[in-house]
Amino acid sequence: MDALVKRAFKYRFYPTETQATELSRTFGCVRKVYNLALHARTEAWKQHKERVGYDTTSALLTAWKRTEELAFLCEVSSVPLQQALRHLQTAFSNFWARRARHPRFKSRKRSHDSAEYTRSAFRWRDGKLTLAKMSEPLDIRWSRPLPEGAAPSTVTVSRDAAGRWFVSMLCEDPLVRPLPAAHSNVGIDVGLDHLLVLSTGEKVSNPRHEHRDRLALAKAQRALCRKQKGSRNRTKARIKVARVHARIANRRSDHLHKITTRLVRENQTLVIEDLAVSNMVGNHRLARAISDAGWRQFRQMLEYKAAWYGRDVVVVDRWCPSSKLCSVCGALAAKMPLHVRTWTCACGATRDRDVNAARNILAAGLAATVCGADVRPQRSTPGGQSVTKQKAPQRELRESVSLEERDGSQAITYLFSLVSSRFCAADSATQITQ
């Protein structure tokens, strides 16, 4: 990793009344420009089957500013408006590449507002940040220092649903460097009884952050329902609900940051399972618990930290029978209901369901890595071409291979059993020592 990693440093700040008014006006203009550009691009495609790019929308922005009804766009800095058009271009690029859904219009009632400033729209001097159209620097609470000698390249100002103001500064961090190679690998199985179960046998407890504040959240939501729509008291009650949600999200994020950082530092290869979380929350009995666990957020943190520090993340196909497959003899059980937490295989080995699954996930990931194949799922485009859903960081593998149906499955199964036998030997040595 020759180039320095760019890292965002987020701080809370307290604007003056004038600054808050200016930023609120900027947020409204950013939303208006985004929606106008989205409407123009959508209509161009519907009527003429024409793809409108960033250059065209930028020219439209200049024309909009000259009209009488949109002259207020000239009152704010032009940089956040141009950045909104670039963000829309990125959203369409992801949509065309089938990485995201079609961009949606921004609502005035949206709980989160933001505006991005580039270097030409802010002044950074003596550790103080002054935005365009403002005479005073922002009153930032420096919870941690910026990297020594670092200057922000972009600044994003945001306001959340609880009314808190944040500024995020993108800087080059010289401290983010690849770590020395580790000699251990780990398979990770996520769950609800335990948040994580590792192939080493370690179980990370699930703190259930939302469950701890469920009574406070219910009380705040009941108070919100009793308030008249459009009244100031309803706005106050909505902010109270948002503060409870923010407290839950902050605790969850802090916990996941600590876990992912430790796992990345201690292991060279981390193998996880590709889970369709958006489909799993369709189960209304488990949706609340699954959302509270933050499985998707855990995967995102693990992947970008692994890319920072020179680690590998291997994603195993969700259809891999990790729970039903014995990690000792390789026998596949016919059924494995959720209430079965421990089971005895025909070979006589008694296995913990979650630990067994984590070891099978690790074996499948290592087998695919050695064979030069990827066991992540694929989907097909309308033209019939196969497209990988997501690439693991720092790993270019040849093709996706199913564990049971594709050529090379015998090699994967062999290595699968080979790695499993290593764990079996380790368990036997532990039992003899005890």
Query: 126 an active-site residue?
Result: no
> How far apart (Å, rounded) are the C-alpha atoms in residues 229 and 166?
28
What CA–CA distance (Å, rounded) separates 91 from 99?
A: 9
Instruction: Name the nearest CA neighbour of 336 among 317, 353, 320, 319.
Output: 353
Residue 97, burial from CB neighbour count under 10 angstroms (0-12, 13-18, 19+): exposed
The dihedral sign for the CA sequence 247, 250, 253, 257: negative
Distance CA 420, CA 279 (A): 30
User: What pairs with residue 344 in β-bridges?
Assistant: 350
The Cβ of residue 216 has, within 10 Å, a number of other Cβ atoms equal to 15
Any catalytic annotation for residue 273?
Answer: yes
Active site residue 354: yes
Neighbours of 23 (CB within 10 A): 24
| Catalytic residue, candidates 273, 312, 317, 374 | 273
**Token output for 158:** 């945001």
Show Cβ contacts of residue 32 under 8 Å, excluding neighbours closer than 6 positions: 70, 73
Q: Catalytic residue, from 22, 113, 116, 189: name it.
A: 189
C-alpha–C-alpha distance, residues 329 and 302, integer Å: 31
d(CA 297, CA 284): 20
Catalytic entry in 22, 210, 317, 354: 354
3-state secondary structure of 199: coil
Of 406, 421, 400, nearest to 329 (Cα)? 421
Tokens 């940089």 sit at which residue?
A: 79
Active site residues: 189, 273, 354
